[in-house]
Amino acid sequence: MSLRSVVKKNSGQDVHLCHACNDCDIEARDEMDIPLSSLVQLILLNDEEALQCRTLWSDSVLEASRGVCKRGLDIHAVLIALREESIRKAGDDSPSSPPFPRRGRESPLPSGEG
């Protein structure tokens, strides 16, 4: 299944709705390597680089992503779906190292949630 399809299945969000307006580009944070708009574009391209970027694992980005898309895409749900897929793939690739920073437990949710 393509990354775009995985995101749609697991989050209910169709990234084809994205018009590349860049309105979701929140203020840069140290832990971000790519902006949210670029992350959405990677999903559109089925580019699995989206599963390996540091932006995906920033809890402050995750929190700031709520309601950030003016087109109605739930970027928060998209990020959670990407985290879940990254964890799933890391399990498939075991015993090699996961592509994301370990957080002490394997949960797509930030500390204090879930």
Q: How far is the CB of 71 from ligand SF4 (least distance, A)?
A: 4
Q: How far is the CB of 54 from ligand SF4 (least distance, A)?
A: 19
Degrees to nearest 5, angle at CA 62 with 77 and 49: 80
The residue (of 19 and 103) whose beta carbon lies closer to ligand SF4 is 19
Q: How far is the CB of 25 from ligand SF4 (least distance, A)?
A: 7
Residue of 26, 25, 22, 12 lying closest to 73 (CA atoms): 12
Structure tokens at 114: 């879930």
The residue (of 29 and 71) whose beta carbon lies closer to ligand SF4 is 71
The three-state DSSP-derived secondary structure of 43-77 is HHCCCHHHHCCCHHHCHHHHHHCCCCCCCCCCHHH
The residue (of 1 and 21) whose beta carbon lies closer to ligand SF4 is 21
Q: How far is the CB of 21 from ligand SF4 (least distance, A)?
A: 4
The residue (of 67 and 91) whose beta carbon lies closer to ligand SF4 is 67
Alpha carbons 112 and 97: distance in angstroms, whole number: 25
